[in-house]
Amino acid sequence: MKLAFQKNTQNLIGLFLLLMASLFVVSCNKETEEPQAILSEEEIVAVVEGALLNDTDGLAAQSEDAAYIAEQSMAKDGLGGGPCGETKDSTVSYNYSNPLITAAYNATFIWTLNCNNASIPQSLDFDRTAEGNYETARMISDDSAVGDWLVENIVTGANYVINGTYSRQGNQTSKVRNQNAFTSSLEFGLDDLNLDKGTRRIVSGIASFTLTGSGTAGRSFSYEGDLVFNGNGSVTIIVNGNSHTIDLY
């Protein structure tokens, strides 16, 4: 009986070890089969880039429009004059084309000139909406954009200063990596975006962004990052602690 007991014990130990080994293999297989990120870092950067570039009717172009409206308000109305508090609007169409980018957008501006008690302009409430499409070397997009901004320093200083939010939503097809097709919503928060009053180009400022959406088989994604505008016509996109610098113009 003692030998039989020892034999049964050895069998149980062997069965237990076999079971643990099987569980380990299953666990390893699950880890191996875990799906990769829905969007690669390169694709995230491509989406953000498309929302920023001048030739995709991105933030660079839209902020230039805000600076232009502020400039025209001052040129037309001057100090102490003009329609303070009046809301105006305008609709325009844009077509962009160069060897690397094609784009077409219809945009609407709505703005209100804010003045002090002496009727001297102080700031501009500027809203811009746009719908259209673009294609770059890395991305195809059919989207819409909304900017809701306060433009300050319209009388004093060398730069216009913009604060507010900017968003872009639509459908994209990546031309890099796995050529993913997805829908996205990209939200920016702008912090003291400075535009030179002579060139109307961005010379400094920072922003944060959140990119959400859904990709293959409806799988959702969410990514966050930051922007640093460098003052030389470029912006650095920071994702996952990695920096990617692109030219805006």
What are the pLDDT digits (tens) for 187-198? 999 999 999 999
The pLDDT of 24-49, averaged and rounded, is: 68
What are the pLDDT digits (tens) for 4-35? 444 454 554 554 444 455 544 444 444 443 34
What are the pLDDT digits (tens) for 158-180? 999 999 999 999 999 999 877 88
Each domain of the chain, given as residue ranges in start order, spans: 1-34, 39-247
Please give the single-letter amino acid code of residue 95: N
On whether the CB atoms of residues 233 and 248 are closer than 8 A, the answer is: yes
Dist CA 115 CA 34 (whole Å): 58
pLDDT of 28 reads 45
pLDDT of 7 reads 47
User: What is the average pLDDT score of the chain?
Assistant: 87
On whether the CB atoms of residues 66 and 149 are closer than 8 A, the answer is: yes
What are the pLDDT digits (tens) for 106-150? 999 999 999 999 989 999 999 999 999 999 999 999 999 999 999
* pLDDT over threshold 50, residue 83: yes
